[in-house]
């Protein structure tokens, strides 16, 4: 649910998605992002609250505020996808919503994606460094220059913190299913790294952002952050699934096996991704929307298995019993009598057994009767003389041929064929 939308850039180049799950004690990240050294119309700020908390300060400063109204342990990936779906920028940046951003952060992102002079972004997985400390956010902080004093702020050595911040092209994020909404990413074991790793599997280059534009991240007041203290039971329960060094097992497994797509894809992202496909044949178009996102039901699969078994058994019996029997009948009755019986079957009995109610979005051959091919197209039945040759019934020109027989009812088209054959 979109709670608030202000007058924001109509065509931003970058959408910055900031997430909260009812825990942020301050919202200064918005202030730092509003002080970038590029025009504000080049980027938008999307604030996503996975629960239902709405903060007046955020409403005033963010371009868009979205609430997801989740229950129980938070699922950040659901929030990321909400921001991704609403984002209008060519790039999306998922970042810590309590970090301090240097004034040239946005400009450096554009530079990394080679977007100077209005050019389109190159495919890339851009990971962002963060300086971290055990110190709390200082009151009255107004200039990032003083944060460069590492001794004063006791910054830890830079590490590759994949769970913090990442920028990719929006089209790439959608192409590969967005952020995985599998339950294994609930709670603490989430982060943009899952999508980034799947993009790397698909051949995208991973680049770590220039250390000179690394973000600064201060410690949280307890009990939200441990800050060197013993973790609470709530924090322990947030690691609801197995993990490897704090990374969800399913993400590590995806990276290690080379998987591209999420285990559980957001339905709206799936629909958007499917609409973006470019299909080159009519047959494939019929297949493209056959099942929906959930695929075939177990019952449908069993039905196909039964049809296959029927086909195999039927063919076996035909080869071993029916064909030898038919040859014996022909030998007994003679070719002339057998031919008349075959014609009677094809013209009178077989047409009655045809499944003429089959869906026919394209011209579909049902059977041949006398000198005609019976074809269904949409809700009409056509008898096409075999002498005509190829006739495209999907066109207006094909459906007005003078020798064509047409009816809305299968029984009627059969009667027309018999009448025409007698004449």
Please report which confidence band the pLDDT of residue 109 belongs to, taking 50, 70 and 90 as the band edges. very high
Instruction: Check residue 207 and give its pLDDT.
Output: 96
Question: What's the whole-number mean pLDDT along residues 221-237?
Answer: 61
Strand (E) or helix (H) holding 200: helix 193-201
Q: For the chain, give the longest Cα–Cα distance.
A: 108
Q: Which residues pair with 93 in a beta bridge?
A: 16, 167
Q: What percent of the chain has pLDDT over 70?
A: 93
Please report which confidence band the pLDDT of residue 7 belongs to, taking 50, 70 and 90 as the band edges. low
| CATH fit for domain 2-264, picks 3.30.70.20, 3.90.550.10, 3.10.129.10, 3.40.50.2300 | 3.90.550.10
Least confident residue range of 84-88, 290-294, 381-385? 290-294
Instruction: Check residue 9 and give its pLDDT.
Output: 62
CA 14 and chain centroid, separation? 21
63 CB neighbour count, 10 Å cutoff:
22
Does residue 8 carry a pLDDT above 90? no
Please report which confidence band the pLDDT of residue 18 belongs to, taking 50, 70 and 90 as the band edges. very high
Instruction: Check residue 64 and give its pLDDT.
Output: 93
Instruction: Check residue 176 and give its pLDDT.
Output: 97
Instruction: Check residue 344 and give its pLDDT.
Output: 73
Instruction: Check residue 163 and give its pLDDT.
Output: 78
Distance CA 194, CA 261 (A): 10
Maximum mean pLDDT: which of 160-174, 220-234, 299-313, 316-330: 160-174
Of residues 162, 140, 136, the one with CA closest to residue 216: 136
Instruction: Check residue 263 and give its pLDDT.
Output: 95
Please report which confidence band the pLDDT of residue 174 belongs to, taking 50, 70 and 90 as the band edges. very high
Please report which confidence band the pLDDT of residue 333 belongs to, taking 50, 70 and 90 as the band edges. confident
Instruction: Check residue 222 and give its pLDDT.
Output: 59
Are the CB atoms for 350 and 357 separated by under 8 Å?
no
| pLDDT digits 0-9 by tens, 38-57 | 999 999 999 999 999 999 99
Task: Name the DSSP letter for residue 96.
Answer: -
Tokens (6 digits) for 392: 């495209």
Q: Which residue has the higher pLDDT, 82 or 320?
A: 82
Single pTM value for the model: 0.74
Distance CA 317, CA 332 (A): 21
Please report which confidence band the pLDDT of residue 230 belongs to, taking 50, 70 and 90 as the band edges. low
Phi, psi of 46 (to 5 degrees): -110, 115
Q: 215: which residues sit within 8 A by CB, 6+ positions away?
A: 95, 96, 99, 100, 101, 102, 105, 128, 129, 130, 131, 164, 165
Half-sphere exposure of 392 (CA within 13 A, CB side): 4
Maximum mean pLDDT: which of 191-205, 221-235, 268-282, 311-325: 191-205
Task: Name the DSSP letter for residue 123.
Answer: P
Distance CA 153, CA 146 (A): 9
Which sign, positive or negative, has the C-alpha torsion 178, 181, 187, 188?
A: negative
79 CB neighbour count, 10 Å cutoff:
27
CA 145 and chain centroid, separation? 42
Phi, psi of 409 (to 5 degrees): -125, 140
Find out whether the peptide bond into 300 is cis, omega within 30 degrees of 0.
no
**Per-chain mean pLDDT for the chain:** 88
Instruction: Check residue 346 and give its pLDDT.
Output: 67
Question: What's the whole-number mean pLDDT along residues 128-138?
Answer: 93
Instruction: Check residue 191 and give its pLDDT.
Output: 86
Per-domain boundaries in the chain: 2-264, 352-422
Please report which confidence band the pLDDT of residue 242 belongs to, taking 50, 70 and 90 as the band edges. confident
Question: What's the whole-number mean pLDDT along residues 223-243?
Answer: 65
Distance CA 54, CA 62 (A): 12
Distance CA 227, CA 141 (A): 21
Are the CB atoms for 376 and 364 separated by under 8 Å?
yes
Phi, psi of 284 (to 5 degrees): -65, -35
Instruction: Check residue 231 and give its pLDDT.
Output: 62
| pLDDT digits 0-9 by tens, 397-408 | 888 888 999 999
């Amino acid at each position: 649910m979109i709670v608030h939308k202000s007058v924001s850039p109509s065509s931003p180049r970058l959408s910055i998605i900031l997430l909260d799950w009812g825990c942020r004690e301050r919202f200064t990240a918005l202030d730092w992002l509003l002080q970038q050294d590029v025009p504000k119309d080049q980027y938008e700020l999307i604030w996503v609250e996975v629960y239902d908390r709405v903060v007046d300060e955020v409403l005033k400063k963010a371009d868009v505020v979205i609430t997801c109204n989740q229950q129980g342990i938070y699922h950040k990936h659901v929030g990321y996808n909400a921001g991704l779906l609403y984002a209008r920028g060519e790039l999306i940046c998922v970042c810590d919503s309590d970090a301090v951003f240097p004034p040239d952060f946005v400009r450096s992102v554009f530079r990394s994606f080679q977007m100077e002079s209005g050019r389109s972004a190159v495919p890339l997985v851009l990971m962002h460094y963060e300086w971290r400390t055990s110190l709390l956010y200082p009151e009255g902080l107004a200039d990032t220059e003083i944060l460069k004093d590492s001794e004063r702020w006791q910054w830890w050595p830079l590490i590759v913190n994949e769970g913090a911040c990442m920028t990719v092209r929006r089209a790439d994020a959608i192409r590969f299913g967005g952020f995985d909404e599998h339950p294994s990413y609930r709670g603490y074991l989430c982060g943009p790294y899952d999508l980034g790793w799947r993009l790397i599997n698909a051949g995208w280059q991973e680049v770590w952002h220039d250390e000179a534009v690394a973000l600064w991240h201060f410690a949280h007041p307890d009990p939200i952050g441990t800050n060197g203290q013993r973790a609470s039971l709530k924090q322990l329960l947030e690691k609801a699934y197995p993990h490897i060094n704090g990374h969800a097992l399913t993400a590590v497994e995806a990276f290690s096996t080379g998987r591209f797509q999420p285990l559980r894809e957001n339905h709206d992202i799936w629909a958007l991704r499917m609409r973006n496909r470019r299909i080159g044949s009519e047959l494939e178009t019929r297949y493209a929307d056959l099942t929906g996102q959930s695929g075939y039901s177990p019952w449908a699969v069993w039905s196909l298995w039964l049809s296959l078994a029927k086909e195999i058994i039927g063919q076996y019996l035909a080869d071993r019993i029916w064909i030898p029997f038919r040859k014996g009948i022909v030998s007994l009755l003679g070719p002339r009598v057998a031919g008349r019986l075959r014609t009677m079957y094809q013209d009178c009995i077989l047409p009655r057994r045809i499944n003429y109610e089959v869906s026919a979005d394209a011209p579909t051959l049902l059977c041949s009767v006398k000198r005609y091919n019976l074809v269904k197209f949409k809700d009409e039945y056509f008898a096409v003389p075999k002498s005509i040759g190829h006739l495209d019934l999907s066109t207006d020109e094909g459906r007005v041929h003078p020798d064509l027989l047409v009816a809305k009812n299968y029984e009627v088209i059969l009667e027309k064929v018999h009448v025409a054959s007698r004449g």
